[in-house]
Amino acid sequence: MPESEKSAKQDPIIQLIVFRLGEEEYGIRIEQVKEVTITPEIARMPKTPPFVKGIANLRGDIIAVIDLEERFRLRSAGQEMPAVSYTMAIEAKEYTIGIMVREVPQPLSIAQSIIEKAPEFIQDINIHDKYIEGIAKIDSRIIVVLDMLKLLTPSEIMQLQPKGESSPAGSRTQA
């Protein structure tokens, strides 16, 4: 097998959508992003954790919008979300969910091979390493590549469901 073909096969180019949370840069695979839009009007939903900003009308679909800076406690004091923010609609397994970010997310193509498995130092930040597919180093930039499908499973989001809810889903189905 010719060398060039072999390396192309082993090292496919992947496209990321890169966005900023706090001071760090994060990336998601482009195929997990349905669209990016200016954050629509959000209706706050009572009895949800604070990082669930509420629900919004995205072209007739009602989706939940979450704020990952708040979720991962990456926001330094006095750095509120700007009045105009952006929302990435992410297609999780069974639903679409919006992720609010402060700047327009940018596409970026990188070779798969430069994504390294998450090293130990990642424990320092508040992101559980199982969501992290790896770390990409490009020149002086470090991009944390997230696996959104793991981050946005219902159990992940529902761990945050307030305790002592009027009637948790579980007790309904038991009956």
Partner 1 sequence: MKSREQEYREIFMSEALEYYDAMSRHISELERSPTDESALNELFRLMHNLKSNARAMGYTPIGEVAHHMETIFGLIRDKEKAFTGSVVPVLFKGIDTIGEMVRAVGANEDLPDVVHLTANLDRLVQGEEPILEPETTDDEDATRKLELSDLVYIQVKKLDHLMNLVGELIIDRDRVLTLSQEIGNPALIAAAAHLSRIADELQYSVMDARLVGVGSLFSKFPRVVRDVAMAEKKDVELTMTGEDIQIDRNILQIITDALLHLVRNAIGHGLETPAERVAAGKPAQGHLLLSAQTERDDVLVQVRDDGRGINVESVRRKAVERGLVAANVAATLDDNAVRAFLFEPGFSMAKEVTEISGRGVGLDVVKLAIDSLGGQLRVDSVLGQGTTFTLVLPTSIAVKGALLFQLDQRNYAIPLMHTDSVVSLLPENFNVVGGMLLTRIQDENVPVVSLRRLLHNGDGPLPPAVRTDLEGRQDIIIVNYNNRRLGLIVDRFLRQQDIVVKPMSKPLDTIDLFGGVTLLGSGQVCLVLDVPALTRLFLAKRP
User: Which residues contact partner 1 (rule: CB under 8 A)?
Assistant: 41, 43-48, 52, 55-57, 60-64, 94-97, 152, 154, 157-158, 161-169, 171-172, 174-175
Q: Which is nearer to partner 1, 12 or 164 (CB)?
A: 164
Specify the residue, 6 or 130, whose C-beta has the smaller distance to partner 1: 130
Minimum CB–partner distance for residue 44 and partner 1 (Å): 7
- In this complex, which beta carbon is closest to partner 1, that of residue 43 or of residue 138? 43
**Residue 81 Cβ, how far from partner 1 at the closest point, in Å?**
19
Q: Which is nearer to partner 1, 39 or 136 (CB)?
A: 39
Q: What number of CA atoms fall less than 13 Å from residue 106's CA on the CB side?
A: 7
Decide whether 85 or 153 has the Cβ nearer to partner 1. 153
CB 51 to partner 1: min, Å:
13
Q: Are the C-beta atoms of residues 92 and 151 closer than 8 Å to each other?
A: no
Nearest-angstrom CA–CA distance, 127 and 73 = 9
* Closest C-alpha to 114, from 4, 1, 16: 16
Dihedral, CA of residue 81, residue 87, residue 90 and residue 92, to nearest 10? 50
Minimum CB separation of residue 2 from partner 1 in Å reads: 48
CB of 128 to partner 1, least distance (A): 18
Work out the burial of residue 78: count CB atoms within 10 Å of its CB; fewer than 13 is exposed, 13-18 middle, 19 or more buried. Answer: exposed
Query: In 3-state terms, what secondary structure has residue 55?
Result: strand
Let me know: does 35 contact 89? Beta carbons within 8 Å.
Answer: yes
Distance of CA 95 to the CA centre of its chain: 14
